[in-house]
Amino acid sequence: MKEFSDRINEFFISWGLNPKTASTSVDIILAVFIFIIVLAADLFCRYVVVNLIEKIVTKTKATWDDILFDRKVMNYLSHIVAPILFYILIPIAIPDDKILQLIKNLTLIYIIAVFLRFTSALLAALYYLYSMRERTRNKPLKGLLQTAQVVLFFIGGIFIISILTGKSPAALFTGIGASAAILMLVFKDSIMGVVSGIQLTANNMLRVGDWIAMPKYGADGTVIEVTLNTVKVRNWDNTITTVPPYALVSDSFQNWRGMEESGGRRVKRSINIDMNSVTFCTPQMIEKYRKIYLLQGYIMETEQQVDEYNKKHDIDTSLLINGRHQTNIGVLRAYLNNYLRSLDTVNQEMTCMVRQLQPTETGIPMELYFFSSRKDWVVYEGVQADVFDHVLAIIPEFDLRVFQNPSGDDLRSLHN
């Protein structure tokens, strides 16, 4: 290239131009020539190389390469060739050291900016790729992506400042280290968000799609996005609550993922039985209960045990207080146990029981504790509603009453 410029310079001098004008003309011609080469290289990379690679990619069965092209990563990469080529060739056309240094600095800054753009697009494509996989689909990867982008642009900014100021990047990093306390104060939320995001991911505490409840922040719904500074929760009324990530680490929240991944959703509800309706079973009541399909085996087995016990101990059963006798509330409890065991909507492999709780002034709480195999909210509510509809309807069949505080109609009827 030096020999080429010297020949052009001698050619202009032979035409009668003075050496200074001839040298300036050579520099201009070389600059135009370099510009044409750089432009041709840029067009070649963008419209020939990129299109050729795209055609090859469309014929492969892999999906990751399609994502790279869909996110225009290769297009961003092609833009970096032209400035690098310009940075290498420009010293040939610029003899002045100050002007050359200025142009090289600006070109280097442009190269760094293009590289940052390419790297950011590559990180975004990797995030999109991993978010499509089954194993990592629900991981809070967006916060990690934003963290990586912040660190990337921070380092790139340091290099750009070092080029503009003419100082070493190491010296700038040293100065930043000295002012770390101020930076931590300014970027406190971002730093805490980064640390919290790492903890949430490492401990598998939260995923996109999880149902969480955090009453302190008014959050009760599905996690739709986890970013560097916020966790977005779509509540069941379709409002969106944003919660700081560090709040999920420092405060407690309820994650319903365990329920969704388990075999059933718990039902734990009770009905209060009027204590005044509890009584021993008479022979007539026993005969009535013996006709109930779900109680036939229980009544037969229990009556046999009661008779054997009373005969063995020679107990006078003319008084019900003597010996052993069945109670209507005990038979009800046995019926409800058998009833729950007969339902296909109840997970029979998980805890299933009917129990009495501590009697109160509002009666005896009869609690049904079981797990519904249908976990979707609407279906789940329907399952437990069907169960308790049946329970409320059959209680009078056992000569029992549900406790209920007097209403206005009760007082009005009493007055009349």
Would you list the DSSP string of 25-44?
A: HHHHHHHHHHHHHHHHHHHH
Q: Whole-number mean pLDDT of the chain? A: 81
- CATH at residue 399: 3.30.70.100
**How many domains does the chain fold into?**
3
**Domain check: are 320 and 380 in the same one?**
yes
Determine the Cα–Cα distance for residues 398 and 101; give it in Å rounded to an integer. Answer: 99
Residue 120 lies in a domain: yes
**Domain check: are 201 and 242 in the same one?**
yes
Minimal CA–CA distance to 355: which of 339, 372, 367?
367
Tell me the residue range of the domain where 230 lies: 159-261
pTM: 0.56
**Domain check: are 251 and 327 in the same one?**
no
Residue pair 260/388 in contact by the 8 Å Cβ criterion: no
Q: Is the dihedral of CA 385, 390, 395, 398 positive or negative?
A: negative
* Reported confidence tier of residue 27, pLDDT bands at 50, 70, 90: low
Q: Looking at residue 39, what is its pLDDT?
A: 86
Residue pair 85/37 in contact by the 8 Å Cβ criterion: yes
Residue pair 227/146 in contact by the 8 Å Cβ criterion: yes
**pLDDT tens sequence across 229-240:** 788 999 989 999
Determine the Cα–Cα distance for residues 240 and 222; give it in Å rounded to an integer. Answer: 9
What would you measure as the largest C-alpha separation in the chain, in angstroms?
Answer: 145
Q: Which of 243, 261, 279 is the endpoint of a domain? A: 261
**Domain check: are 10 and 127 in the same one?**
yes
Q: Is the dihedral of CA 29, 34, 39, 44 positive or negative?
A: positive
By percentage, how much of the chain surpasses pLDDT 70?
A: 79
- CATH at residue 204: 2.30.30.60
Evaluate if residue 97 carries a pLDDT over 70. Answer: yes
| 3-state DSSP of 293-339 | HHHHHHHHHHHHHHHHHHHHCCCCCCCCCCCCCCEHHHHHHHHHHHH
Q: Which of 228, 261, 294 is the endpoint of a domain? A: 261
Determine the Cα–Cα distance for residues 8 and 27; give it in Å rounded to an integer. Answer: 10
Of 99-108, 375-384, 406-415, least confident by mean pLDDT is: 406-415
Determine the Cα–Cα distance for residues 120 and 123; give it in Å rounded to an integer. Answer: 5
Determine the Cα–Cα distance for residues 45 and 37; give it in Å rounded to an integer. Answer: 12
Minimal CA–CA distance to 27: which of 83, 101, 90?
90
Residue 189 lies in a domain: yes
Determine the Cα–Cα distance for residues 253 and 205; give it in Å rounded to an integer. Answer: 10
Of 19-23, 43-47, 306-310, 369-373, least confident by mean pLDDT is: 19-23
**Domain check: are 276 and 381 in the same one?**
yes
